[in-house]
Structure 1
Amino acid sequence: MTENLTHRQKMLTFAGVLLAMFLGSLDQTIVSTALPRIAADLHGLDRFTWVATAYLVASTALVPLYGKLADTYSRRKIEIGAVSIFLVGSMLCGLAGEFGPLPLLGDGMNQLVVFRAVQGFGGAGLFAMAFIIIADLFPPAERGRYQGYTGAVFGTSSVLGPFLGGFLTDQGSDLIPGVAGWRLVFYVNLPLGLLALWFILTQMPALRPAGKPRPIDYLAALLLLTGLVPLVVALQLNRAEYGWTSPVTLGLFAVAVASLTLFVRRSLRHDNPILDFGLFRNHVFRTANAALFLLGGAFLGIIIFEPLFMVNVLGVSATRAGVSLIPLSMGVVLGSLLAGQMVSRFGHYKRWMLGGLVVLLGGLSLLATMPVTVSYRQVLGYLLLCGIGLGPTMPLYTLAIQNAIEPQLMGQATSASQFFRQIGGAITASVLGAILTFTLTHSLPATGAPAPPVVAVSEGPVVPGPGAAQVSPALKAAFSQAISRVYLFNIFLVAGGLLMTLFVPELPLRKSNDSAPPVPAE
């Protein structure tokens, strides 16, 4: 599909795809610092966690569908559609509440929740399509260095997002008089997105899959959505209001199980399924995705719960707690770029995957054994170590999967790797939140202070607490113990990911996109 492209055309297409991915990645962090102001302005404090949850649900549930669309239609059209939906959603989010209550949508906060879901529908494609298009542009033997840049983009956006969100929220009304600063958090996507669209429209080739397009099984797509949406919503519910055994939670899980069961049965019988379950017979696909499921949860566990330790144990401000994640992000950038370059140069990916996980285990072990007296700088060093270990997981598992899969299934296989990483994070965040709350509940009876409920969402945890300056020594000790247990659970996740990675076959990297996988699927 790309034999006649010049290096310049490939690089310009690559730049447009990375810019689009940067938008989606930035949006996961930039909104978090604006949420308190948004909730105050729109009078929706009781619903502000749903601003994050709506995006998470939509961006997770749509990933498999984007993979199938990419295997059926022009990658260029799908990418244009994803960026366009994301930009429309961004504009609507910025306008939420400007015109008062709207029919069907209600007040401004309800509008924002719905419009964030629209953003998520586009955001799902920004991530999935980035890896699919990079696979089209470069053969596996060269792809590592370019996929390494995706980790760098993710790490950079993780640093810039909170700062940019806070700056625009606090200073935006001075920059554009009459416009609430938090609205610029969404409007900032528009110029960047339009620039990405220009690159894609003017420089990106069609990248059509081989063969004639076959009709998509839209009933299966509907079953998939009606299974994944209630599943992710059930995992993100506030356990203080909806416990694991509440009728709402159990009802959502029941709908999810029923719909996903019907989806699997239909997919196994259909001649053109949304997800070809024959992929699971491939040993690389099966073991690498199992590892990604576990590692996606470990990554989210670090970024969600580390700021809680900073605020409630070390007593630093929320701003300094946010700044403390910079070494983690910089470590991800360094680890991702280094691993990608080394794999492209020497051709061995498994040793870098295993080496990164060993480094990550070391960093997590230090986090899990932090005493109450640990210093701020020590924690920064531990986070840098974790980031370096996490870096290779961004590009290399996807590369291993793509290298082992037939070209006609590239979209489905690639999107599956993104999906398992995201759904693993959603499930693990919910479990880790339950561990934290359970430990606090059983550690605090003597103090008479109730354990704060935790709502784990993609943009960070919501922990209504007493504030850093008012945390008692007993509460500090309780939080230290609880977060140590969270990181201990994370160690088991990474150890499981390491075990699965040991079973990932090391296959020679193909030097052409048109060649068959090195070994046939099992």
Structure 2
Amino acid sequence: MLTFAGVLLAMFLGSLDQTIVSTALPRIVEDLHGLERFTWVATAYLVASTALVPIYGKLADMYSRRKIEVTAVIIFLIGSMLCGLAGEFGPLPLLGDGMNQLVVFRAIQGFGGAGLFAMAFIIIADLFPPAERGRYQGFTGAVFGTSSVLGPFLGGFLTDHGSNLIPGVAGWRLVFYVNLPLGLLALWFILTQMPALRPRSQPKPFDYLSAALLMAGLVPLVMALQLNRAVYGWTDPVTLGLLAVAVVSLAGFVFRSLRHENPILDFQLFQNPVFRTANGALFLLGGAFLGIIIFQPLFMVNVLGVSATKAGVSLIPLSMGVVMGSLLAGQMVSRYGHYKRWMLAGLVVLLGGLSLLATMPANVSYYQVLGYLLLCGIGLGPTMPLYTLAIQNAIEPRLLGQATSASQFFRQIGGAITASVLGAVLTLTLAQNLPAAGAPLLVPVRQLVTSEGPALPVGAASGAASPVMRAAFSKAISRVYFVNIFLVVGGLLLTLFVPELPLRKTNAEPGATAE
């Protein structure tokens, strides 16, 4: 249980860092004079944390889990310390000014953050057999939901009042420094309480070429998806060039993996129907979750006319719903088994909540929206622990690291791709409605949204939005939610085809018969 506590604390840090920085960005930009590069503070972390997840999974299958977890925490803490120091000593050789330094250091932080997420589920799988694992993996959803609530609040508080706590230190730097004591505590738990958890067989040589090809494919892919579409459209040479490099590199990765004796991702896993269908569902549902988090605050500010702070607070019911749904589903599966029915039940609840969001009139009340978001959160909760549990239960223990990290990867890459598509839907719908009414879009949509959540929406900058603006945003965000409904329906259909295997009572080889 002490090992479990340390792993959850490390995961909490990685999850917290996805949201805590968003509220500090305006002050960071002001101090480091990097407005034109502010989205890259988020993008650098996203690119690094997404690209490294499969590699951590493979390393976990080859070496001691404790060593890999400790390495991830140390990299994350080094990155956090460097982020807090960005710009303190003026321009640096090779790195340039403070904003460039922060972008590079955020990437280092992301290299560690990737391991905090991937290793949490892998180590929990080592500690508890599948029949008991649900109740413990349910806590991972609770950690994620809690950090989603605390992150923006803590980021804003430290940014505004941090200099009073530590005189002479800019408040936004404490957003990064706060990771240090918590991370050291997690490191102590892991070093003193966690067993080595060594692999079951002698490791074969690591395939560095596959790792390089994977990185060369994923980095430009995520970068292309995160570019400001107001500057780099889909047909822009920069976008097309990044996508071309991604396609060629990923094709090379697949070709190499199919022929190497020790691939980073064993493609035979895709022959497993549970692995194949569950990851397909996670790809779609990761996008649906991010779609709610990104676009709901825009509705709150630009349609209902609330403050940016109140818009951020509106996501608390969503996070609390995720906590409730995750814990409840985990407990029920550990008690009664039958994970599939809880997956399907959660998706039906999510469809109900999304249908309410998609049909909201422009004059919907603030508290009605909170109820809809709570419903969505309860539906999303089971997706956190149960799909990963189903995958882990169905594969050979020697492939546990690869299979688990793949589930995290497909959720993250699905979110990145879908967020870009939903942003295009929003932009297109606004362009169709605003010009006709003589009200141009004041701020490019890519500047309204970062990968870490909403930035400052239009209405927050200019007071209450005009009736034309309110109507346009109401229609555009409704259309975004209709697209989200199709994503969830796709995830539900794939879930129907997920075979339900009996939950193993030990971490021995899985059974092959379905119930």
Identify the match of residue 157 of structure 1 among 136, 144, 147. 147
Q: Distance in 1 between matches of 2:506 and 2:247?
A: 40
State yes or no: 1:484 paired with 2:475.
no
Compute the RMSD of aligned alpha carbons: 1.0
- Identical columns (%): 85
- Structure 1 stretch displaced more, 467-476 or 414-423: 467-476
1:22-56 superposed Cα distances (whole Å, 9 cap, x missing partner): 00000000000000000010000110010000000
1:416-470 superposed Cα distances (whole Å, 9 cap, x missing partner): 0000000000000000001001100110113322223222432124466253624
* Preserved CA contact (<8 Å) 1:454 1:463: no
- Determine the structure 2 residue equivalent to 1:509: 503
State yes or no: 1:45 paired with 2:72.
no
* Preserved CA contact (<8 Å) 2:439 2:468: no
- Determine the structure 1 residue equivalent to 2:421: 431
AA in 1 matched with 2:440: P
- Determine the structure 2 residue equivalent to 1:457: 450
* Preserved CA contact (<8 Å) 2:501 2:513: no
TM-score by length of 2: 0.98
Identify unmatched segments of 5+ residues in structure 1. Answer: 1-10
* Preserved CA contact (<8 Å) 2:343 2:382: yes
Query: Residue 96 of structure 2 aligns to a residue in which SS?
Result: coil
AA in 1 matched with 2:373: L
Identify the match of residue 233 of structure 2 among 226, 243, 246. 243
- Determine the structure 1 residue equivalent to 2:179: 189
1:242-294 superposed Cα distances (whole Å, 9 cap, x missing partner): 00000000000000000000000000000100100000000000000000000
* Preserved CA contact (<8 Å) 1:331 1:386: yes
State yes or no: 1:140 paired with 2:135.
no
CA spacing shift, 1:113–1:262, aligned 2, 3 Å: same
- Determine the structure 2 residue equivalent to 1:12: 2
- Determine the structure 2 residue equivalent to 1:518: 511
Q: How does 1:215-234 map to 2 (within 5 A)?
A: 215-234=205-224
Q: Distance in 1 between matches of 2:192 and 2:249?
A: 41
- Determine the structure 1 residue equivalent to 2:307: 317
* Preserved CA contact (<8 Å) 1:398 1:417: yes
* Preserved CA contact (<8 Å) 2:273 2:499: yes
AA in 2 matched with 1:73: Y
Identify the match of residue 335 of structure 2 among 345, 348, 362. 345
AA in 2 matched with 1:519: A
* Preserved CA contact (<8 Å) 2:220 2:242: yes
* Preserved CA contact (<8 Å) 1:444 1:478: yes
Q: Distance in 2 between matches of 1:115 and 1:23?
A: 16
Q: How does 1:347-362 map to 2 (within 5 A)?
A: 347-362=337-352
Q: How does 1:249-268 map to 2 (within 5 A)?
A: 249-268=239-258
AA in 2 matched with 1:499: L
* Preserved CA contact (<8 Å) 1:316 1:468: no
Query: Residue 29 of structure 1 aligns to a residue in which SS?
Result: coil
Q: Distance in 2 between matches of 1:165 and 1:221?
A: 34
Query: Residue 373 of structure 1 aligns to a residue in which SS?
Result: coil
* Preserved CA contact (<8 Å) 2:3 2:194: yes
**C-alpha displacement at 1:343, in angstroms?**
0.2
Q: Distance in 2 between matches of 1:340 and 1:454?
A: 37
- Determine the structure 1 residue equivalent to 2:196: 206
AA in 1 matched with 2:512: V
Query: Residue 458 of structure 2 aligns to a residue in which SS?
Result: coil
State the number of aligned residues: 510
1:368-401 superposed Cα distances (whole Å, 9 cap, x missing partner): 0000110000000000000000000000000000
* Preserved CA contact (<8 Å) 2:301 2:457: no
Q: Distance in 2 between matches of 1:416 and 1:453?
A: 33
Q: Distance in 1 between matches of 2:102 and 2:119?
A: 26
Query: Residue 208 of structure 1 aligns to a residue in which SS?
Result: coil
**C-alpha displacement at 1:147, in angstroms?**
0.1
AA in 1 matched with 2:11: M
- Determine the structure 2 residue equivalent to 1:5: none
* Preserved CA contact (<8 Å) 2:270 2:276: yes
* Preserved CA contact (<8 Å) 1:144 1:395: yes
Identify the match of residue 444 of structure 1 among 425, 430, 434. 434
* Preserved CA contact (<8 Å) 1:453 1:464: no
* Preserved CA contact (<8 Å) 1:453 1:463: no
Identify the match of residue 106 of structure 1 among 87, 96, 111. 96
AA in 2 matched with 1:494: V
Query: Residue 305 of structure 2 aligns to a residue in which SS?
Result: coil
* Preserved CA contact (<8 Å) 1:454 1:461: no
CA spacing shift, 1:296–1:405, aligned 2, 3 Å: same
- Structure 1 stretch displaced more, 34-43 or 459-468: 459-468
Q: How does 1:56-95 map to 2 (within 5 A)?
A: 56-95=46-85
- Structure 1 stretch displaced more, 42-51 or 466-475: 466-475
AA in 2 matched with 1:453: P
Q: Distance in 2 between matches of 1:457 and 1:400?
A: 32
* Preserved CA contact (<8 Å) 2:134 2:331: yes
Q: Distance in 2 between matches of 1:344 and 1:396?
A: 11
Q: Distance in 1 between matches of 2:451 and 2:60?
A: 26
**C-alpha displacement at 1:520, in angstroms?**
7.7
Q: Distance in 2 between matches of 1:495 and 1:359?
A: 12
Q: Distance in 1 between matches of 2:30 and 2:85?
A: 16
- Determine the structure 1 residue equivalent to 2:494: 500
Identify the match of residue 414 of structure 1 among 404, 413, 417. 404
Identify the match of residue 380 of structure 1 among 370, 377, 401. 370
Q: Distance in 1 between matches of 2:455 and 2:255?
A: 38
Q: Distance in 1 between matches of 2:456 and 2:242?
A: 24
State yes or no: 1:399 paired with 2:380.
no
Q: Distance in 1 between matches of 2:478 and 2:172?
A: 35
- Determine the structure 1 residue equivalent to 2:274: 284
Q: Distance in 1 between matches of 2:155 and 2:433?
A: 35
Q: Distance in 2 between matches of 1:484 and 1:470?
A: 20
Query: Residue 3 of structure 2 aligns to a residue in which SS?
Result: helix
* Preserved CA contact (<8 Å) 1:30 1:185: yes
Q: Distance in 2 between matches of 1:449 and 1:139?
A: 59
- Determine the structure 2 residue equivalent to 1:305: 295
Q: Distance in 2 between matches of 1:434 and 1:217?
A: 37
State yes or no: 1:294 paired with 2:284.
yes
AA in 1 matched with 2:453: G
Q: Distance in 1 between matches of 2:464 and 2:100?
A: 33
State yes or no: 1:472 paired with 2:466.
yes
AA in 2 matched with 1:445: P
**C-alpha displacement at 1:518, in angstroms?**
1.8
Query: Residue 151 of structure 1 aligns to a residue in which SS?
Result: helix
AA in 1 matched with 2:6: G
**C-alpha displacement at 1:519, in angstroms?**
1.0
Identify unmatched segments of 5+ residues in structure 2. Answer: none
* Preserved CA contact (<8 Å) 2:43 2:223: yes
